[in-house]
Amino acid sequence: MTDSHAPILITGGAGYIGSHTVRLLASQGRKIVVLDNLVFGHDQAIIDPQVELVVGEVGDQALVRALFEKHQFQAVIHFAAYAYVGESVTNPLKYYQNNTAEPIKLLQVMQEFGCKVFVFSSTCATYGVPDKLPITETNIQKPINPYGNSKLMVESILADCDTAWGLRSACLRYFNASGCSPDGLIGEDHNPETHLIPRVMMAVTGEIEYLEVFGTDYETPDGTCIRDYIHVEDLADGHARALDHLAAGGASVRCNLGTGVGVSVKEIITAVEKVSGKTVPVKYGPRREGDPPSLVADPSLAKELLGWVATRTNILDMVGPAWIWTTGPNAGHYPANKS
């Protein structure tokens, strides 16, 4: 059992999914310390004044050790990672260093301080090209890129740490994170931006000339790829529930976080046009190597083990808030980091 009032260390908490999770947990009255190097995170995304932001590296053991000594963390939520699949193929060592080796250093400090609760931001990329649909946790995990491999390696490391010294972990394999907070205060801002929904928004607003769609000849109803788009606030809720499960003494879990609903690229475009009232400039091209036709989750295990269910399953639930963020005061981008 862990002390529900003890501070939580959240690595990468200034990033897209991390910041929404930080906001949710802070609203529940939890004490949070965020560790983020701000390479991809944004200090402006930490909007709760009670949340402490420490700028630094997960692999800086002296820094992490000092934070543990000061706060006596009893739980860690780990988001910090690089997540560009294409870059992982051309620069695999960067990904294995940051996504696999750095968390090992964090785990070593956790072991020193007897911290045995770890919520891990994993990914459906650990499955590679699925052997069956919808994807369940029994699907073969065979990543097709170093990014997926780097995450799967951490999953294996966590299982070994559970056996060796009692570390209990939740590996949350989520599908296509999307949407933003409904009030438009925090949102999705990557550089470069590769996610579909914000790129459709960028095409509508003229930030990019057009949206490039890769492939229209897949064996899907409209010929374009189908994905499971999960709202970022549902993902945040999944992390909160996983944390509570482990804090209450629950066993390690491995769960998909998705809606179970597949949406095609063309359906995303139509939804953005409906929300924005504008036409999306589109250029259709050939398939992109490595893109499976369809990736859809079976999220039933998360419901069974964590009591978690996605509450936003209509694609307009994702696109609507994203449009608010895109057309808000910051036009979909955070100001430059102060740090």
* Beta-sheet pairing, 117-123 with 75-78: parallel
C-alpha triplet 228, 232, 234: angle, nearest 5°: 85
CB 175 within 8 Å of CB 228: yes
User: Which DSSP string corresponds to 179-227?
Assistant: ---TTSSS----SS---HHHHHHHHHHTSSS-EEEE-S-SSSTTSS-EE
**Residues linked to residue 177 through DSSP beta bridges, in sequence order:** 230
Structure tokens, 40: 């991809």
The reply to whether 84 belongs to the active site is no
CB 154 within 8 Å of CB 120: yes
* Beta-sheet pairing, 176-178 with 168-174: unpaired
Rounded distance between C-alpha atoms, residue 16 and residue 268, angstroms: 20
Q: Which residue in the list 16, 127, 147, 229 is annotated as catalytic?
A: 147
**Catalytic residue ranges:** 147
